[in-house]
Amino acid sequence: MPDDVAHPGDPAHPGEGPASGTVGPASGTGRPASGTGRAASGPTAAGAAPEPRGLDLPWADGTFPPDTVAARRQVWDALMGLALHEATHALASDDVPVGALVVGPDGRLLGVGRNRREETGDPTAHAEVLALRQAAATLGEWRLEGCTLVVTLEPCVMCAGALVLARVERLVLGAWDPKAGATGSVWDLVRDQRANHAVEVVGGIREDECAHLLRAFFAAQR
């Protein structure tokens, strides 16, 4: 997600930003999503299943992702709304507005992140990397097998590599990046047959809204 990221095309609904009223996770805390739904401390009773970790999200029957294409699209749209909400908080620090989140195999929210390079001076503080770090902290391990990462802009080379290394199962992205995208546009690192892990890619979710947010940001920089 370089500063010269491509400015995607015009949105279908000019002037439309992230969906308002979407209830999302608390933004900008920089803390693992550990407050709600974390496994209780102390020993687990013999034979008892460990409590799920992360924040419970309102998926209808607990099946994640849903079985039907239409139901999956509704869930991807809702998750992208949360990522868009997180992306808007990057504007306060003049960072490129990209937001990301990680959900576990059961659909529980494990981590969120937004671009914070300008805010922190950290060249690796991309939304995807911060969301992955928070998810790993929530789970207590680096392997994010079965997890889904949702992000408003196609990941760069660094973030695509992080997805592979973290063993993320699925990537759901909003706007494609024809200048620096590394999950299908310029490169396709997450589905390279030479890699030791492949990531499923679902692209173009709420693409117009994601593109509009980025285009408005870069227009204001000129």
Report the CATH number at residue 119.
Answer: 3.40.140.10
Is 156 annotated as a binding-site member?
A: yes
Is 210 annotated as a binding-site member?
A: no
**Residue 12, in any domain of the structure:** no
Residue positions annotated with a catalytic role: 128
Q: CB within 8 A of 11, min separation 6: which ones? A: 208, 209, 211, 212
Top-confidence range, 29-38, 41-50, 52-61, 153-162: 153-162
**Residue 108, in any domain of the structure:** yes
**Residue 17, in any domain of the structure:** no
pTM for the model: 0.77
| pLDDT over 90 (residue 55) | no
Number of domains into which the chain is organized: 1
pLDDT at 24: 39
Domain interval for residue 158: 55-221
pLDDT 10s digits, 92-131:
999 999 999 999 998 999 999 999 999 999 999 999 999 9
Tokens 């709420």 belong to which residue?
206
Averaged pLDDT, 87-93:
97
Is 147 annotated as a binding-site member?
A: no
